[in-house]
Amino acid sequence: MAVSAIIIILAYLIGSIPSGLIVGKTFYGIDIREHGSGNLGGTNTFRTLGVKAGLTVTLADILKGTLAALLPFIIGSDLHPLIAGVVAVVGHMFPIFAGFKGGKAVATSGGVLLAYVWPMFLVILLVFFISLYITKYVSLSSMLAAVAALIYAIVSGDLPLIIVVSILALFVVYRHRANIKRIKDKTEPKVKWI
């Protein structure tokens, strides 16, 4: 029980590492919370600081989820890796190191799934980029990737995966509610590089 509690705390702290804030302030002297959407995730980093910074932050956010989900194996615990992963995603959305205002859960959720069932990660990555190519909306593509993950989980029949992916998909859609409104109003920004 004590080991599981330590893993949960570590997972939250790992998830709380504000990659976008660190990259922006350290290498660009910019607090990305004061620019664009004000979000700490990869998309706002791409828009505010460019491709190099955006890729760095996105990869860092993915790895946060992966590392957190692997903690039970690294430390040696029977805690389900998906529980540690979900806690990291909560940390990413509500980071203690950034005033509890974080990202939208997409990359870190992907990182959790990468650790637990990597073929699913490849499938949702493919869905994301196909959707992005067609629609040019990162937000819509993120939500469609979440739906694809849920379908994959249901087909797999893995009950813990179905439960956790359902939770993660709800996180993703909820965190994009303002984007949904902008898509309806046709005011959501489109990417121009794909």
Tokens of 128: 């994301």
Cα 54 to chain centroid, rounded? 13
DSSP secondary-structure letter at 94?
S
Neighbours of 179 (CB within 10 A): 21
User: Tell me, what amino acid is at 16?
Assistant: S
Q: How confident is the model at residue 36 (pLDDT cuts 50, 70, 90)?
A: confident
Tokens of 70: 């692997």
Distance separating alpha carbons of residues 172 and 127, to the nearest angstrom: 15
Say what the pTM is: 0.94
User: Tell me, what amino acid is at 174?
Assistant: Y
Q: Provide the domain count of the chain.
A: 1
What is the predicted pLDDT for the residue at 188? 92
| Coil vs helix vs strand at 100 | coil
Q: Judge whether 190 lies within some domain.
A: no
What is the predicted pLDDT for the residue at 23? 95
Q: Judge whether 66 lies within some domain.
A: yes
Domain that holds residue 181: 2-185
Neighbours of 162 (CB within 10 A): 16
Cβ atoms of residues 12 and 87 within 8 Å: yes
The string of DSSP codes covering 68-87 is: HHHHHHHHT--S-HHHHHHH
Q: Judge whether 191 lies within some domain.
A: no
Q: Judge whether 171 lies within some domain.
A: yes
* Per-residue model confidence as pLDDT tens digits over 132-168: 999 999 999 999 999 999 999 999 999 999 999 999 9
For the segment 89-108, the average pLDDT, to the nearest whole number, is 95
Cβ atoms of residues 177 and 185 within 8 Å: no
Q: Judge whether 53 lies within some domain.
A: yes
What is the predicted pLDDT for the residue at 108? 97
Q: Judge whether 193 lies within some domain.
A: no
